[in-house]
């Protein structure tokens, strides 16, 4: 394990590579319902890297293009089914981990990429591990952040345990529901989030997203909750996250740890905020102990968000180190 120095100085966006526009983009029909949006930036002849967004349901944003040297990398960014610019937005129809793995492989084939580096945080780390274990021959390596393995304990922590650190945020989250619905927060939220009536599902989505946003940074961010208030984006995050939580991400408990031997030969860096409350360090340590060859970096003054200055700094450094290894 590598424990880095305190790194809260500097605005995270100022640390990133300059803004960049895609040189190509498109859509792939995944089935009769879902269409997936993708884009490529940087060097068309460069080494491929694919960004896996969080949530699930979070979608990609322009700043996600900026963690990689555009002269070296061929940067692939896409929106998982139901998220971002993929359609239909917030759909949970046929939305499973196994289908997301298959979607990613379809994207690789469509772009005629032989092997690529996977870069993913939070749920993106889950999907990166699931995809790599299904297709290790297609991987150059992994850069992972804020590890989430989709265990029942992690889901229970999100729904109840975070109140230990953020009691006010959890109380608002729980008390959004009427008293008779608070016995099973996940089931009650899922029922509301999947209700077809916007008057029911949108307030539930805003409550869910504000809870998660309030717990995502080491220090309070005044706009952390407000950024989730856009109806479509907020609904996609809340509805799809609850959908995956209810189904335990269609993964057996411990499945991703059991699959590590299939990918231990690949270079990997794990970046973890010491005070990540959404995805606590105990999970990242579990992965690091199962994968001793992986580089494990703990940022001492960071929470969960990729926009924490220390997290941003260490991810950039990890990608730079990967340039010599892929």
pLDDT of residue 108: 98
Is residue 298 within 8 A of residue 2, CB to CB? The reply is: yes
- Measured CA to CA, the distance from residue 323 to residue 294 in angstroms comes to 16
DSSP annotation of 2 reads E
Q: Give the rounded percent of residues in the chain with a pLDDT score beyond 90.
A: 91
Mean pLDDT computed over 185-209 = 98
- The partner residues of 42 in beta bridges, in order of sequence, read 74
Assess whether pLDDT exceeds 90 at residue 63: yes
- Structure tokens that stand for 237 in this block: 């995050």
Residue 22 banded pLDDT, cuts 50, 70, 90:
very high
Residues 6 or more apart in contact with residue 217 via CB below 8 angstroms:
224, 303, 304, 305, 307, 308
Predicted pLDDT at 81: 98
pLDDT for position 222: 65
Please state the rounded mean pLDDT for residues 111-138: 98
Token pair 């929106």 is found at 79
Q: Judging by DSSP bridges, how do beta strands 24-29 and 35-42 pair with one another?
A: antiparallel
Q: Is 223 helix (H, G, I), strand (E, B) or coil?
A: coil
pLDDT at residue number 208: 98
Which of the four pLDDT bands, split at 50, 70 and 90, describes residue 3? low
pLDDT at 5: 64
pLDDT tier for residue 1 given thresholds of 50, 70 and 90: confident
Length of the chain: 326
3 state SS of 171: helix
Q: Whole-angstrom distance between the N-terminal and C-terminal Cα of the chain?
A: 22
The rounded percent of the chain whose pLDDT value lies above 70 is: 94
| pLDDT score at 10 | 55
Predicted local distance difference test score (pLDDT) of residue 231: 85
pLDDT at 127 over 80: yes
pLDDT at 90: 98
pTM: 0.95
> Rounded to an integer, what is the distance from CA 271 to the centroid of its chain?
13
Strands (E), the chain: 2-3, 24-29, 35-42, 47-52, 73-78, 116-121, 139-145, 268-273, 295-299
Q: Is the peptide bond before 56 cis (omega within 30 degrees of 0)?
A: yes
Contact between 56 and 244 (Cβ < 8 Å): yes
Low-confidence winner among 1-5, 71-75, 111-115, 211-215 (lowest mean pLDDT): 1-5
Q: What is the mean pLDDT of residues 278-302?
A: 98
88 upstream amide cis, omega within 30 of 0: yes
Write down the pLDDT at residue 121: 98
- 238-277 pLDDT, tens digit each: 999 999 999 999 999 999 999 999 999 999 999 999 999 9
Annotated catalytic residues are 122, 276, 304
């Amino acid at each position: 394990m590598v424990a880095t120095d305190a790194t809260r100085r500097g605005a995270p966006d100022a640390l990133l590579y300059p803004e960049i526009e895609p040189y190509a983009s498109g859509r792939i029909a995944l089935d009769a319902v879902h269409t997936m949006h993708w884009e490529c930036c940087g060097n068309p002849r460069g080494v491929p890297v694919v960004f896996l967004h969080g949530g699930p349901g979070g979608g990609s944003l322009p700043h996600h293009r900026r963690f990689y040297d555009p002269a070296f990398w061929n940067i692939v960014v896409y929106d998982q089914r139901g998220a971002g610019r993929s359609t239909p937005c917030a759909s949970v129809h046929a939305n499973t981990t196994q289908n997301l793995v298959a979607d990613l492989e379809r994207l690789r084939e469509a772009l005629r990429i032989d092997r690529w580096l996977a870069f993913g945080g939070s749920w993106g780390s889950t999907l990166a591990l699931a995809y790599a274990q299904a297709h290790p021959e297609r991987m150059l390596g992994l850069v992972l952040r804020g590890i989430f393995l989709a265990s029942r304990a992690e889901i229970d922590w999100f729904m109840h345990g975070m109140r230990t650190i953020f009691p006010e945020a959890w109380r608002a989250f729980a008390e959004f529901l009427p008293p008779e619905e608070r016995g099973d927060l996940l089931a009650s939220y899922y029922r509301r989030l999947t209700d077809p009536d916007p008057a029911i599902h949108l307030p539930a989505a805003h409550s869910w997203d504000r809870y998660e946003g309030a717990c995502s940074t080491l220090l309070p961010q005044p706009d952390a909750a407000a950024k989730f208030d856009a109806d479509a984006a907020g609904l996609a995050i809340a509805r799809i996250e609850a959908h995956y939580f209810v189904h335990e991400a269609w993964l057996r408990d411990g499945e991703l740890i059991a699959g590590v031997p299939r990918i231990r030969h690949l270079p990997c860096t794990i970046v973890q905020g010491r005070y990540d409350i959404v995805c606590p360090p105990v999970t990242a340590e579990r992965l690091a102990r199962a994968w001793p060859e992986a580089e494990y970096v703990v940022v001492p003054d960071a929470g969960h968000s990729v926009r924490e200055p220390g997290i941003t700094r260490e991810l950039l450094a990890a990608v730079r180190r990967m340039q010599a290894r892929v």
